[in-house]
Amino acid sequence: MKIAILGTGMVGKAHASRLTELGHQVVMGTQNVEAKKVEQTPDNSGQTFNDWHQQNPDVELITLMEAAQIGELIINALSGQVSVEALKKLEAQIGEKILIDIANPLDFSQGMPPTLTVCNTDSLGEQIQAALPKAKVVKTCNTTNADVQVKPQELAEGDHHIFMSGNDEEAKNKVTDLLQSYGWQNIIDLGDITTARGTEMFLPLWIRLFGKYGHSKFNIKVVK
C-alpha cells in the first residue's frame, strides 16, 4: 500500500520505518523539502532527520501536498497545534481517503507540563473531521510513545491496549488491520470520533507518568 505520513518528527519517522519494514511504499510530507534535508536540529531521541533518512533511504521525502495526493492512506503526524490548518489546505488531495490522526493537541508555549489546546467538549480528532468532512478520520496511537505505537510486542509482550475512534466502520476495520500488522493484539474501538476526547485528555496523565518514571516506554492495560 502507498502510505503518506504528514510530518517528519520522531513519531512520523517511527511509523515510516516500521511501515517500510512491513513492505509498504512510504512517502513523508514536509513543508520545505530542501530545508528538511539539511536540518541539523535533533529530535527528542537525539537524531537529526538527515541521519534518519540515510538509514531509511526507501522513504521518499516530498511536499505535504504531494504526499497527500500520492498516499492511498494518510497518517497525520504533524504537531497538534498546526494540524487543522495544515490539513485543511490539503482537503482536495485527501478527499475521501482514510486519515489516521495520531497527533495530540499539546501546547508547550508555557513550558512543561503542556496544556491541551482543546478538551472536554471537543477534540483535535473532531476538529480535523469537521475540517475534512469527506475524509474518513480515525484517531488512534495517541496514548503511547512512538516506539510502542509501532512495536507493541517490545513492552510486556504486547499485553496492553490501544484505542481507536472514528465515524466510519470500514475505515476502522482497515486501521485495525494495520495496527494488527504492527503487532497490536488488544484494540479497543471506543466509538465515533467524539470519543477521541477521552484519549486526548489522557495526555496530562501520560506526561505525569513520564515525569514519575523518567522514560516513556509504558502503556495502559484495561482489565475488566
**pLDDT at res. 134:** 98
Amino acid at 84: V
**pLDDT at res. 221:** 97
Tell how strand 115-116 and strand 106-107 pair up. Answer: antiparallel
N- to C-terminal Cα separation, the chain: 36
Q: Could you list the beta-strand ranges (E) of 84-219.
A: 98-101, 106-107, 115-116, 136-140, 161-166, 186-191
**pLDDT at res. 10:** 93
**pLDDT at res. 109:** 84
Report whether pLDDT(138) > 90: yes
Q: What SS3 class is residue 224?
A: coil
Model's pTM, two decimal places? Answer: 0.96
Q: Are 99 and 76 in contact (CB under 8 A)?
A: yes
User: What mean pLDDT comes out for the span 90-115?
Assistant: 94
User: 125, 108, 8: which is closest to 61 by C-alpha?
Assistant: 8
Tell me the pLDDT band of 45, cut-offs 50, 70 and 90: confident
Amino acid at 31: Q
Q: How many residues does the chain have?
A: 224
Residue 121 DSSP code: S
Tell how strand 60-63 and strand 25-30 pair up. Answer: parallel
Q: Are 143 and 199 in contact (CB under 8 A)?
A: yes
**pLDDT at res. 211:** 94
Cell numbers at 212, concatenated = 514519575
User: 18, 167, 37, 149: which is closest to 99 by C-alpha?
Assistant: 167
User: What mean pLDDT comes out for the span 129-157?
Assistant: 97
Question: pLDDT, tens digit, for every residue of 62-85?
Answer: 999 999 999 999 999 999 999 999
Residue 55 contacts by C-beta under 8 Å, 6 or more apart in sequence? none
- Cell 534518519 locates to 52
